[in-house]
Amino acid sequence: MSYLLLDPADFAGKAIDGFAAAHPRHVSRIEGGVMRRAALPPGQVGVVVGGGSGHYPAFAGLVGRGMASAAVCGNIFASPSAGQVVRVGSAVERGAGLLLTFGNYAGDVLHFSLGAERLRRRGIDVRIVTVTDDIASAPADHPELRRGIAGGLAVYKVAGAAAEAGLALDEVERLTQKANAHTRTLGVAFSGCTLPGASNPLFEVPDGRMAIGMGLHGEPGLSEGPLTDADTLATMLLDRLLPERPADIPADRQRVVVLLNGLGTFKYEELFVLFAAVSQQLQQAGVVMADCECGELVTSLDMAGVSLTLFWVDEELEGFWNAAADSAAYRRGSFTSSLPATSAEQPDGRQAELDTTFEPSALTPSQRTLLARIEAVEEALNTHAEELGRLDAIAGDGDHGLGMVRGIRGARESASRAMERGCGIGDVLMEAGEAWSDHGGGTSGALWGGALLAAGQALAEAPAPEATDIAAAFEAALEAVMQLGHAVPGDKTMVDALQPFSVQLQARLRAGADLQQALQEAASAALTAAQSTADLLPKLGRARTHGHRSLGHPDPGAMSLAHCLVAATREPT
């Protein structure tokens, strides 16, 4: 996908920097994302959208007056961290509360929910509406399991318009929920997308075929079909979308906003050919096109694909859809009055890099040992990043290796700074956990952050940790991961490696093994268990919808954890 020489780990951040520089009339760069440049009046609900990067114009391009107040921007295909949600939400809260709305993906749900709880503890009223428009990802009787894809534009537009109209948070939430309930999308892909710096796409579509029901993050389609002409493709899409008409919309009085979306390489002229077929067939079906958008609305890097969204409107929803909006990537109508730019210059959100160099001799023996183990984990993750990405691409989005590299890099830097300040082992692990969550993003970032925080809290109570304290810290980490991710052994997640490690560690210590021996034997058990996840079907997360594809392949989260444990438990040199 990328033609410039670049570091994939910082690609997303630099892209957001450039976006903000290119659109100074619409957005200001803040820590964690962007916010609208037009001042937010006191008493206006803040609408915060967000998700992984790689989907422009979503999400940053939809920030502006009459649209989102701000966007939280994660790394490529990785959810933003809870810390980013807190920082961006705080920047746009004006006393009326916040509405957070984003696609229904495990990592986004986890991080936005954690961020919302932290904001609520500050006394801010926060509501969450997840976008669930993708009809391919779950049946109609389980809409809560559906992914959010291109229909998010309709949901964000209604939310932003309702907030701009000065409505209270209860009403903004109700209208956003209603817009989501009235929106359905189905997409097809003709080739996969390629992550920045990668040489191969995340998935391939056989010649003469198309993938049906793919996701926005490089997930393969849920089925395949032969290539067709525009009329046949329009028929296939509409035959599946029209039966999903919301129950409160009469069959003989259907008005829809049509969104035909190019996913990155399916360009405008070909979109117009398909739109003509869609428009004609809707007319023949007696469905009135109230409005339409045809172009790149929500992309997936350079994926060659297209999606069709039907947004059924009544008088109320249509009014908010037609309301004026002014963002970098989406504009309609005009405002009768202008608002000044944000009065205070917003910080660019990137804290100055701190000098992380320090004299190793200043460290205590336990700090030197911990730092050596962290560096060993970083080396292992760099070594296995490509392998982990390939595993993740089988039934996910292929970014797991990169996310782990970003997470350990941030954790190591934060741990080094904490040690320089003289922090104890528990505090070092807690700061490393916060940094891993912030830098890693995605579900794994939240789980690793939670695990390190829990372990650090356990060890903070033991100034000179003994073997039993370390075993208790791993047990606390396991409990945190299971609570955050709602996973149990057998779900094909990192729990399937961490639980055997914790059990084996405690068993070997009870049998009289010394700590180093017990750690290494426990790590060996974790690696064996992680490899055995090849025989399991995933029951949680993004891979759930592609579970059959992962049979015969171990879970990337379990394997990355096992690699980390093996590296961390080697005898320090």
Query: Which positions are annotated as active-site residues?
Result: 217
Q: Which residues contact 423 (CB under 8 A, 6 or more apart)?
A: 431
* Cα(533)–Cα(387) distance, integer angstroms: 16
How many CB atoms sit inside 10 A of residue 372's CB?
15
Location of structure tokens 């049509």? 258
DSSP string, 97-118: -EEEEEE--HHHHHHHHHHHHH
* Listed residue (314, 316, 382) closest to 567, CA to CA: 382
* Cα(297)–Cα(57) distance, integer angstroms: 6
CA torsion, ordered 201, 270, 224, 205, to nearest 10 deg: -20
Question: What token pair was written down for 121?
Answer: 């503890």
* Cα(104)–Cα(100) distance, integer angstroms: 12
Rounded to the nearest 5°, which phi and psi values hold at 438? -65, -45
* Cα(471)–Cα(551) distance, integer angstroms: 32
Residue 229 buriedness (CB in 10 A; 0-12 / 13-18 / 19+): exposed
What pairing do the DSSP bridges indicate for beta strands 255-262 and 304-312?
antiparallel
